[in-house]
């Protein structure tokens, strides 16, 4: 398979992922800039590689979730994005998440073709060391609580030094150059609140699920903050 064809198949996959309903071959051919005959050959190639593409000519096609891209199909820009993202996490996140970023990048490099693996080692995209503030809380535990949708009991010190006890429904963590912020619904304040992790004196998981789903809380918070969902 030539590089040009690999890139073309990657584009086709990316286009198909945008559709939740069957889409015609003519539409796919127009969006990927190929002839209908070439489009049919490309779909057959992807199906042979394991892509779960259902449908047929005249009826439309749909890509089912679960297909993993062969390593050769990463573009150079995608490799650079993976390297930069992994390096950022390794510098900015807590030690457990940082180690995960390093391990993930090593696993990716191990299965890449030699020329792409060398791009990882030789990447000139660098991340500066952060101006860290010490976290008293266990970020790994907070991430686990977010995934499990468990309530947290916090002892939190605000910018004026006042200490309060809160029960919070955590649903997101924000990572910035100098601080990290846990976002959650605060039962005490009856609203969304942002808690700097360096001001969390203690955080204890209750082991109990909060009454709403995390995606719903995230969507409502984004709407309240005027933030668009990532595209």
- Residues of the chain with pLDDT > 70: what percent? 90
pLDDT classification of 3: cutoffs 50, 70, 90: very low
Query: For residues 172, 91, 130 and 165, what is the CA-based torsion angle, rounded to 10 degrees?
Result: 30
Calculate mean pLDDT across residues 51-78: 77
Q: Which domains does the chain have, with CATH numbers?
A: 3-67 (1.10.10.10), 74-121 (no CATH), 139-225 (2.30.30)
Query: CA-CA distances (angstroms) from residue 148 to 19, 23, 163, 181?
Result: 30, 36, 27, 18
pLDDT at 231: 47
More confident residue, 88 or 68: 88
Listed in sequence order, the residues at least 6 apart from 227 whose beta carbon sits closer than 8 Å to its beta carbon are 221
Q: Check whether 135 has a pLDDT greater than 80.
A: no
What the block records as the tokens of 94 is 């807590």
Position 94 scores a pLDDT of: 83
pLDDT > 60? residue 2? no
Q: Read off the pTM.
A: 0.64
State the average pLDDT over residues 116-126: 78
pLDDT for the residue numbered 73: 61
Higher pLDDT, 127 or 99: 99
Question: DSSP letters along 154-189, please?
Answer: EEEE-TT--EEEEEEEEEEEEE-SS-EEEEEEETTT
Mean pLDDT of the residues in the chain: 85
| Residues in CB range of 122: below 8 A, 6 or more apart | none
Residue 7: what pLDDT? Answer: 75
Each residue of 145-191: pLDDT tens digit? 999 999 999 999 988 889 999 999 999 999 887 788 999 999 999 99
């Amino acid at each position: 398979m030539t590089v040009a064809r690999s890139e073309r198949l990657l584009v086709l996959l990316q286009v198909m992922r945008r559709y939740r309903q069957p889409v015609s071959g003519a539409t796919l051919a127009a969006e990927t800039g190929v002839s209908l005959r070439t489009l049919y050959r490309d779909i057959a190639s992807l199906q042979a590689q394991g892509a779960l593409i259902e449908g047929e000519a005249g009826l439309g096609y749909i890509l089912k979730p679960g297909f993993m891209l062969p390593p050769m199909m990463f573009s150079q820009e995608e490799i650079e994005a993976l390297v930069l993202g992994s390096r950022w996490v390794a510098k900015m996140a807590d030690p457990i998440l940082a180690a995960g970023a390093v391990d993930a990048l090593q696993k990716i490099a191990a299965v890449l073709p030699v020329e792409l693996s060398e791009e990882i080692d030789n990447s000139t995209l660098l991340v500066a060391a952060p101006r860290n503030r010490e976290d008293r809380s266990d970020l790994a535990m907070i991430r686990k609580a977010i995934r499990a949708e468990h309530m947290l009991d916090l002892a939190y010190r605000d910018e004026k030094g006042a200490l309060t006890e809160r029960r919070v429904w955590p649903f997101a963590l924000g990572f910035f150059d100098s601080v990290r912020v846990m976002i959650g619904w605060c039962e005490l304040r009856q609203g969304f609140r942002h808690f700097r992790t360096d001001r969390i004196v203690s955080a204890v998981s209750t082991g109990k699920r909060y009454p709403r789903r995390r995606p719903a809380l995230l969507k409502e918070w984004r709407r309240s903050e005027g933030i668009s969902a990532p595209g």
